[in-house]
Structures are given as C-alpha cells and as structure tokens.
Structure 1
Amino acid sequence: MASDYLLELVDIEAGYGRAALVLRGLTVRVPPASVVCLVGPNGAGKSTVLKVASGMLAPRAGRIRIGGEDITGRGPQDMLRHGLSHVLQGHSVFKEMTVGENVLLGAYTLREKARIAERADFVKTLFPVVADRWGSLAGALSGGQQKQVEFARSLMVSPRVVLLDEPSMGLDPKATATVFEQVVRMRDAGTAVLLVEQNARRALETADLGCVLDLGRVHISGPATELLADPQLGELYLGSRKTDRRQPSTPGADKS
C-alpha cells in the first residue's frame, strides 16, 4: 500500500518488562526529505520511540510501517534492511580503529565492493571531516567530529530514515551547532531524519516538523516554526523560566 510517509508509528503502546507502559497510543509520521524532532520532558518516552522504530523494542500494540509496508515486530536487522538506521545516544565509535574503519563497519550488509566505494565517496563528500581524517584514529577526534563519523557510518547502507538519539549530548555549543548543520545536510541529501533531542529549541530550529511528547503520547504536533512561536508551549517544554514538574519516569523506562 502506497503511503505519503516514509515511516509511520501508529497507535503504539510499548514498555519495558512488567513495568507500566511508556508509550500509550503514540502516533508519529515522518514524511520524505524531512527532519521530524521529538521533544518533551524526561520520561516522556522519546528514546523509547526510536527503540520501537528500530526494532530494539517490540511494541505491545500498534503498527509500524515503512513506505506503507507493515513491518511491525521485525528485529533490528530487518529494520535496517528496510531502510532504518539508528544512531544511538552517546558516542559509539571504536576509538582504536581509524575513521575509515569505523565508517566502513556501516557497510557490513553490502556485498558489492563498487557499491561500498560509492557510499564511502558519498559520505566523505557530505562530511568533510571524515574525508580529511579517514586514516586517523577515531579516538583522536573531538566529540563533535566523532558524532559526524557515526552519522557517516549510518548512511553507508543508503537508509530511507535515520534515527538520531540525543546527537548533541555532551557537546559544547560550537560542536552542537556543527552537528545540527550536518543533520540538515543529511536531509538535503535525501535522507529523512527522526530526531530525539533534549535541546528542544535548537532541535525545533533545525526541524521541519515537531512532536511534543508527554507521558507517552503526542501532546501536540505541527510545523516546527509554529511550535517555537507558541508561548504556552515555550513555558512548558522549551526551556523557559517556568518548567514542567511532572511525575518522574516509570522504572525501567528511558530517561528522555
């Protein structure tokens, strides 16, 4: 069945073990060539959305579709083959390997050497630091540069959607700005992005669409510029002086 969206999570319920549900009827849709960001207080379920989308956590109810095809219940390997690539929270480079070796790990499912070389050339063009430091040890790079290596690795399999979990975590303001610039470059190169980010204002400034999560549901969604302009939303979720003092996260749930 054809769809106007690359990725759809519809009426998703999900949780960890026997703990209460983290996601409670959540629906998120990602159009082609777009950045969709998920923002909200700690415990809202943002990172859990990405785990469900990438097959790391099976939903208890609801459907997951890529390009209109129902892939609910598939594991991470199947999700990757269907075009979903997941960049996890924190740094995941292998520091004692070179930048090039780290990037080429993302092509482990590819068999044609020409295709691997083509994708390597593409990511080098998209992320100049990857080309410049190809033979350098990844551990010698700054945190922001390592994040770009992770982005490049995620694109080696030509994903339709990249899932980014807190890409600015632990980075200084300059590196954070660079990371968000690279998110836009990925989108402009044709890859849709579903982004989870604690820096809500910066994420919405980068995104095309935003979804504000609260207590496992989408509280409000729409064009990112409209969400940024909503004063009530700013007071509750976007870092204004008034902050949301809602209940702590459910045991076993993600912290974001």
Structure 2
Amino acid sequence: MSESDVILDLDRIEAGYGRAALVLRGLSITVRRGTVVCLVGPNGAGKSTVLKVASGLLRPRSGSITLNGEDVTGKGPQPLLRRGLSHVLQGHSVFKEMTVEENVMLGGYSVKDQSSLADRVEFVRGVFPIVAEKWGAAAGLLSGGQQKQVEFARALMVRPDVVLLDEPSMGLDPKRTTVVFEEVARMRDAGVAVLLVEQNARRALEMADIGCVLDLGTIFTTGPAPELLADPKLSELYLGGRPAA
C-alpha cells in the first residue's frame, strides 16, 4: 500500500493524565484505508488512552497525529469529526427512549445537505440490516448487540474515513459478540478504516487485519493478525492461552 492509503498516523506519542506518570511512551501506530487494526494487551497497557489521544479527547504531551495527511495534533473531537474521524465510546450510548431512527439521525446533525443526508441514511441501513428492520422501534427495546449496531450506524452518518471502537463487545454474550465483530467487518468492507480496542483479544484478532500488542504504554509487537495469533509466546502472554492446534 502507498502513503496515500494512510488514514490515521500516530507518531511517537507520549501522553498521560494531569501530572501523573506517562501512560503512552513513544507509541506509534498507522491505520490504513479499509483495514481493521486491533489493539490488545493487559489492563493498564494504555489501549483506551490511545483512542482518547487519537480522537482529541486527550492532548498528547509530545508526538504528532496525522489524519488524511493533515497534522491534527492538539485538535479537539469536533474538528476531528469534521475531518473524518468518529469515536464509538466504551459501553452503550444509545438514547433508549428515542427510536432507532432518531438515534441514527443524531449522527447526521452536521450534514446540512438533505440529499446527502438521505444518501447516508440509505447507506447505513444497507450496511446494518438490523438498523433498517428496527428503524421505528425504541432503541431501549433492542438487545445489547443490536444497540451496538445502532451506535455503529450513527458513527457512519458523517461519512468517516476511520472509526475508533473502544471495547465494542463489552457486556455481550458470545453470540452477540460474534454479531458485533461481523458488523465491524462490514464497516471495513464498506471502505472504512477501523482502530479497535478489545479485551476479547483472540476473537478480535481473528477478524482484524493488523494486530498491535501494547505493553507498558508502547508497542511490544505489531504485524498481520493471523501471525500474532499463531505465535505461541504471544498467545500465552497476551491472548489467554496457546493457539489452537
């Protein structure tokens, strides 16, 4: 892939909270067009902090962030959203008393052209069939996995180039987790780059293109996800056991 395929680039990032010690220590990650990059690692490794820095929620102390070739270091969430980055936060964030339609349309509030807005609605309804099926239902009546798909659809309403996902399977049973990961793959297939943080490391890497193992605020190793899954040492240290024979 060429440099033009790079959507999001974090270069030698150092970041932390207040006057506390650094959480990220010289971390570098590249996310390319139409790929899923999965961040895995032990608790406290800095995975969610990476997403906060990338989305502008946390300003890095040093290093640079480039989005679609533009230096956006230090810019906040709203400017980054306008430049093509969406962030789906950990946990559920649907408004349960509102319909699926109303929840999804909140993601398009900044789209002023009605024709473009209608196109985006049809696009997300096509990517997420359950969203189309439950369009008029109250979001609170949906299962946890279905609510997560509503959040994904809302994030895609602004036509993002990259979506950040923080623990999308949190609180879901294995069946609904499988559905959520299938929907992440559908986003990738629709041309969206995805930077994913996930505690269910093995399952996430089975779906991802690139894996990044974080430890103590830096990248321990990175490479094609199938290669990380097949590495016995990595599997034992970070993925909850040896790979299946």
Q: TM-score, normalising length from structure 2?
A: 0.97
Q: Which residue of 2 aligns with 1:33?
A: 34
Q: Give the residue type in structure 1 aligned to 2:190.
A: A
User: How is 1:177-216 mapped onto 2 (pairs within 5 angstroms)?
Assistant: 177-216=178-217
Alpha-carbon deviation of 1:171? 0.2
Q: Give the residue type in structure 2 aligned to 1:72.
A: T
RMSD in angstroms over aligned alpha carbons? 0.9
Alpha-carbon deviation of 1:240? 1.3
Q: Give the residue type in structure 1 aligned to 2:100.
A: V
Q: Which residue of 1 aligns with 2:97?
A: 96
Alpha-carbon deviation of 1:69? 1.1
1:50 counterpart = 2:51 = yes
Q: Give the residue type in structure 1 aligned to 2:162.
A: V
Q: Which residue of 1 aligns with 2:109?
A: 108
Q: Give the residue type in structure 1 aligned to 2:116.
A: R
Q: Give the residue type in structure 2 aligned to 1:67.
A: N
CA distance in 2 between counterparts of 1:38 and 1:7 reads 14
CA distance in 2 between counterparts of 1:158 and 1:42 reads 32
Q: Give the residue type in structure 2 aligned to 1:84.
A: L
What are the superposed Cα offsets for residues 19-42 of structure 1, whole Å, 9 maximum, x if unpaired?
A: 111000000000111000000000
Alpha-carbon deviation of 1:114? 1.1
Q: Which residue of 2 aligns with 1:161?
A: 162
CA distance in 2 between counterparts of 1:99 and 1:110 reads 18
Deviates more, 1:154-163 or 1:232-241: 232-241
Q: Give the residue type in structure 1 aligned to 2:241.
A: S
Q: Which residue of 1 aligns with 2:126?
A: 125
Any runs of at least 4 consecutive aligned residues in structure 1 with deviations exceeding 2 A, and if so which?
A: none
Alpha-carbon deviation of 1:108? 1.0
1:8 counterpart = 2:6 = no
Q: TM-score, normalising length from structure 1?
A: 0.92
Identity of aligned residues (%): 72
CA distance in 2 between counterparts of 1:16 and 1:47 reads 13
Q: Give the residue type in structure 2 aligned to 1:24.
A: R
CA distance in 2 between counterparts of 1:120 and 1:4 reads 26
Alpha-carbon deviation of 1:109? 0.9
CA distance in 1 between counterparts of 2:69 and 2:222 reads 21
Q: Which residue of 2 aligns with 1:228?
A: 229
1:171 counterpart = 2:177 = no
CA distance in 2 between counterparts of 1:136 and 1:228 reads 40
Show structure 2 runs of 5+ residues with no match. none
Q: Which residue of 1 aligns with 2:69?
A: 68
CA distance change for structure 1 residues 4 and 115 in 2, over 3 Å: closer, same or farther?
closer
CA distance in 2 between counterparts of 1:33 and 1:182 reads 14
Q: Give the residue type in structure 1 aligned to 2:157.
A: M
Secondary structure class of the residue paired with 2:205: helix
